[in-house]
Chains A and B, each alone.
Chain A
Amino acid sequence: GENVEQHPSTLSVQEGDSAVIKCTYSDSASNYFPWYKQELGKGPQLIIDIRSNVGEKKDQRIAVTLNKTAKHFSLHITETQPEDSAVYFCAASRTDSWGKFQFGAGTQVVVTP
């Protein structure tokens, strides 16, 4: 089955700097890669996603890149702000595998003023 590895487990950045989180996946048939942000005591919220036919997607300060050959994808947050502090999860799924998202272990991001 699919296995998703996520690095780093914790990330501390100065406000205004960029943050990058990387995930690798094992199943070459995976074709949908969402990123979720989870604040303390709350459920994860989808912040951006990418499909396998696209190499990069941006939404304001957030971007995701996908390298299908190397089977890894990354989340980039630019101009970080204190409200970006949270746990971020990557995930992978495939359209023929109903409900079978495989999640990374999460990255705790701390943005210090």
Chain B
Amino acid sequence: DGGITQSPKYLFRKEGQNVTLSCEQNLNHDAMYWYRQDPGQGLRLIYYSQIVNDFQKGDIAEGYSVSREKKESFPLTVTSAQKNPTAFYLCASSLNSWEKLFFGSGTQLSVL
């Protein structure tokens, strides 16, 4: 089945530690995105990528980094500079630049 796979489902971060969230898609989509979801709030865009080896900052990129070395993969690293990392992280992809986002099942990141 085609879709987006995020792993792990749950992740814990210690103080000063960087952690990486995985996102893989087999939909042959060019565009991929990372969103952060906090309770009672809408989704906020962290980074997005239109094409391999290119990515752009979203609205809340500080403390995060990404790479796009393969079309299928768009990992997100939450760095120690992100002081409030506890949230539900969603990866998404789309065929076109601005419609029909397909989401993964998310990763819940918590701080120990």
Q: Which of A11-19, A57-65, A78-86, A103-111 forms part of the interface with chain B?
A: A103-111
Q: List A residues at the B interface (Cβ < 8 Å).
A: 4, 6, 9, 32, 34, 36, 41-46, 49, 89, 93-95, 97-106
Are B101 and A46 in contact, CB atoms less than 8 angstroms apart? yes
Q: Is B97 part of the contact surface with A, judged by Cβ < 8 Å? A: yes
When A46-B100, A49-B100 are in contact, do A105 and B42 touch as well, CB less than 8 Å?
yes
Are B33 and A41 in contact, CB atoms less than 8 angstroms apart? no
Min CB gap B33→A, angstroms? 6
SS of B interface (majority): strand
Interface residues of B in 39-60 (CB under 8 A from A): 40-45, 48, 50, 56, 58
Tell me how many residues of B have a C-beta within 8 Å of chain A: 27
A-B contact count (CB 8 A): 72
Are A44 and B48 in contact, CB atoms less than 8 angstroms apart? no
Are A43 and B90 in contact, CB atoms less than 8 angstroms apart? yes
SS of A interface (majority): loop
Q: Which of B11-19, B63-71, B77-85, B103-111 forms part of the interface with chain A?
A: B103-111
Given the complex, which residues of A lie within 8 Å of B106, measured CB to CB?
41-43
Q: Is B99 part of the contact surface with A, judged by Cβ < 8 Å? A: yes
Min CB gap A54→B, angstroms? 13
List 12 A-B residue pairs with CB atoms under 8 Å apart, sorted by A's residue number.
A34-B100, A41-B105, A42-B105, A45-B103, A46-B101, A93-B99, A99-B58, A99-B97, A101-B98, A103-B44, A104-B42, A106-B40
